Structure 1
Amino acid sequence: MKRVYKIGMLFLIFISFFFIGIGCTTNEERRIKEEKNQVLEKKPVIPKQLQGDRSVVVYVVDEGVKREIDIEEYVAGVLGGEINNDWPDEAIKAQAILARTFVMEFLTDKTSKYQNADVSTDIEEAQAWAPKDVNNKVRKAVQETEGMVVAYDGHYIKAWFHSHAGGKTATAKEGLAFKDLEPPYIQSVESPDSQEAPPEDANWTAEFTKKEIINAANKVGSQIDSCNDISIGKKGPSGRAVTLFIDGTEVSAPNFRVALGSTKMKSTLLTDFQVLGDKLIMKGKGYGHGVGMSQWGAYAMAKEGKTAEEIIKYYFKNVDIMKLW
């Protein structure tokens, strides 16, 4: 009887562990399924323009014509226009993911100013586009990131980037005079901008006439008629000028930079002003608005062995990188 009892008890224990194991497996599978569903719920919607054959109507400014182009071919052309095609692969791939995200966000939330076009090659509206500079490295980057985008809370991010951060990136309000709420994924971070960057981008000097300064200030709505003194007003988290004072009149620094000429006044990370006669000598660090990914920072990180995903997640906080197709 004892032997039968022991065998019975062992059988019951075995059956209990079996069903517990089944329960654990089921719970684990349920957890994995829930996590997958959460990721799917976070996936942004593919713009209606791409729900057919994934092509977009692009207004090509240089040619004055509209072309229907596969979205991945369009992204390749953007890379040709926005990044050096001989850079490290992971830097080009990071740019590809951001370029694709940029156009997805544009197609979702904006309308091209060119009639019957989905997007254009007008850099004031969208991104630069230079298909003549597409080479095998660019094609490889596009192919290896096909369909990949960056999202935050189920929406495409504003995939901002710039050339050189001058050592630290800017917030959106600081660098772009962004009017909406500060995007939570954009934060000011230290940027490891490469020492290989052009010296004139890391530290620049520009000369302007007083007339140029006055015209630019008036263009952005700050009415002035003289320029005998200029100084920084408010600064943002990265140290960039948010406002300037020109003879006591406050001017939006990011808007003023665009009006004055963003290739001459390379940034709002300003270090010195000198008024000499009819001239203003201005000095600063970095090149571009400073928001989002620094391209020379991406270059340095790629050289150090960082992946495209690691580069993007360094410059854009708490984002998801996902594959749409």
Structure 2
Amino acid sequence: MRYITLLFTTIFCIILPATISAEHMVTVKLVNYIGNTDELTIEVKGEFFSLDPTLHIEEGVKYTLQLKKGELYLKQEGKKKQNLHGSFVLIPNTYDRNHVIYVNERPYLGALEFVMEEKNNIRPINQLPLEDYLKGVVPFEVFSSWGLETLKAQTLAARTYAVSKLGEVINDTISYQVYGGYEWDKNTTEAVEETEGEVITFNNRLIETFYSASNGGKTENNANVWGGTAMKYFPIKDDPYDPTHPWKFSMHQNQIDYSTIDFTNPNWWDNTIEEDEEISISIKNWLNRNGYPGKIKILDIPQFELNGDKLASGRSVTGSITITFMRQLLEGLILFEQVSLQNVNLNRIRPMIGGTLFKSYLIDSLELQDSVYTMKGRGFGHGVGMSQWGAHFMGEKGRTYKEIIRFYYPGTTIMDISSKTLKLEY
């Protein structure tokens, strides 16, 4: 892997314009749209070469790349498949927008290496210049219909993060930044081009550019969410620009009335449905991941409450929840079990219910009435750093991207990596 990455860089230094340096190349594993698979389709536009001089990839021809018994094979319709004897690399003769690689019909610029991952999967690895990588990131992180100044602010957050990862192999999922390849939008492309090279720093070091969809009207400090050192550029303060995004969800205390189950019916398990299907699916997935394999039916949630004091931002920290459930191990073998989390951090409970319902820790109330829990809150996400919706409304009010950055990351400085020497670690 490291050899190929270095080779990519050497080749790109030859074929790319002199204004792009090897330091500004991004290497991305393609996971989000590929998943885990032993077969991919590949097609190229423009002329590409590989590291195998006997292999010629024709423009406009669809190929199938297969992994069988630990070997990669390339197949063209009507022709005999070819054993690639290792990884497979495709590099454009010239780096430009007329040289594109389509993987499962999704377009990518730059070079691609296809490697075997965990003996069962083909993993494409894309390498391309930083600025073009960002053009494939920003439209997937924010609404491209928003104003240009908001898009520029999002671009600086994305670029700062990407620069901090230079030299690493990242992926295209939310674990890093969502990257959609060469599916650009003209508005976000303009935002990237007009801020080329600009990153956010504090004391001449790159910052951690955290952001969330909505902070609910109050920003949060990083230490309150993830621990560690509290950063000065993440203060707790009111945000008059964030639209607060109030939310609520309800959850029945009793999910299945055990007394009504007809155990004489051979289909009783499939016919037994929980009151809150979406929440139950989330809880069952959590239980499966945390030591309870097998099919599960949620019976009751006898306890769900908040505990302890709130943070200075008004966010709740700890809570308790108890789940009783049936678990089917083998046909006819049913276990009755209970999981209880007492006075734990809410970041252990929220994934059980699901972040699309339990949207933040800025909780206004949690009540139990007529055997139904109702939680109300504000915001969507952790609340640290920039609120994307707040940035949108700042832009709508005529604020520039530099003013947006100053508001959400106070005390920071915007610097140009093309003219400044920065430390690339946090």
Please state how far the C-alpha of 1:307 moved relative to its aligned partner. Answer: 1.0
Cα deviation code 1:101-150 (max 9, x no counterpart): 11222337xx5xxxxxx211121x20122347631111110001111101
| Structure 1 residue 298 corresponds to structure 2 residue 349 | no
- Distance in 1, Cα, partners of 2:290 & 2:228: 19
Query: Any idea what the Cα deviations from partners look like across 1:190-223, whole Å, max 9, x if unmatched?
Result: 213355xxxxx711112346666698699799xx
2:360 paired residue number: 267
In 1, the alpha carbon distance for the partners of 2:238 and 2:205 equals 26
Q: State the one-letter code of the partner of 1:170.
A: E
Distance in 2 separating the partners of 1:138 and 1:149: 16
TM-score by length of 2: 0.55
**Residue in 2 that maps onto 1:78:** 137
Confirm whether residue 283 of structure 1 aligns to residue 331 of structure 2: no
Contiguous gaps of at least 5 residues in structure 1:
1-49, 112-117, 196-200
- Distance in 2 between residues matched to 1:271 and 1:132, nearest whole Å: 42
Report % sequence identity. Answer: 30
Aligned residue in 1 for 2:30: 60
Q: 2:246 corresponds to which residue?
A: 203
2:172 pairs with one of 98, 117, 121: 121
CA distance, structure 1, for counterparts of residue 321 and residue 191 of structure 2: 46
Tell me if the contact between 2:233 and 2:411 (Cα under 8 Å) persists in the aligned partners.
yes
Deviation at 1:236, TM superposition (A): 1.6
Greater relative contact order, per chain length (Cα 8 Å cut-off, separation 6+): 1
Quick check: which one's helix share is greater? 1
Aligned-residue offset at 1:165? 1.2
Q: Residue in 2 aligned with 1:238?
A: 313
Partner of 1:115: none
User: Offset of 1:292 from its aligned partner?
Assistant: 0.3
Deviation at 1:83, TM superposition (A): 0.3
- Root mean square deviation of aligned Cα: 2.9
SS at match of 2:137: helix
Aligned CA distance change for structure 1 residues 297 and 142 (closer, same or farther; 3 Å):
same
Identify the match of residue 103 of structure 1 among 149, 155, 162.
Answer: 162
Alpha-carbon distance between aligned partners in 2 of 1:284 and 1:80, rounded to the nearest angstrom: 28
In structure 2, the CA distance between the partners of 1:133 and 1:203, relative to structure 1 (3 Å rule), is farther
The answer to whether 1:167 aligns with 2:217 is: yes
Q: CA deviation at 1:60?
A: 1.5
Going from structure 1 to structure 2, the CA distance change for 1:157 and 1:255 (only over 3 Å counts) comes to: farther
| 1:97, distance to aligned residue in structure 2 (A) | 0.2
Structure 1 residues 101, 227: closer, same or farther in 2, change over 3 A?
Answer: farther
Which is worse superposed, 201-210 or 308-317? 201-210
Give the TM-score, by structure 1 length: 0.70
Q: What is the CA deviation profile of residues 227-260 of structure 1, one whole-angstrom value per residue up to 9, with x for unaligned ones?
A: 4240242322210112224478212123432453
Q: CA deviation at 1:317?
A: 1.9
> What is the distance in 1 between the residues matched to 2:250 and 2:132?
40
Q: Give the C-alpha shift of residue 77 in structure 1.
A: 1.5
1:207–1:281 contact (8 Å) kept in structure 2: yes
Cα deviations across residues 58-95 of structure 1 (Å, max 9, x unaligned)?
11111342111211111122111110001011000000
| 8 Å CA contact retained: 2:362, 2:379 | yes
Listed as ranges, the gaps of 5+ residues in structure 2 are: 1-19, 35-122, 254-279, 292-299, 323-340, 419-426
On the 8 A contact 1:228/1:275 being kept in 2, the answer is: no
Partner of 1:192: 240
Residues 216 and 256 of structure 1 are in contact (CA less than 8 Å); yes or no, is this contact kept in structure 2?
Answer: no
Contact 2:283 2:352 in 1 (8 A): no
How far apart are the structure 2 equivalents of 1:270 and 1:256?
14
- Asked whether the equivalents of residues 79 and 130 of structure 1 are also in contact (C-alpha less than 8 Å), the reply is no
The separation in 2 between residues aligned to 1:128 and 1:99, in whole angstroms, is 10
1:59·1:67 contact (CA, 8 Å) conserved in 2? yes
Aligned partner of 1:198 in structure 2 is none
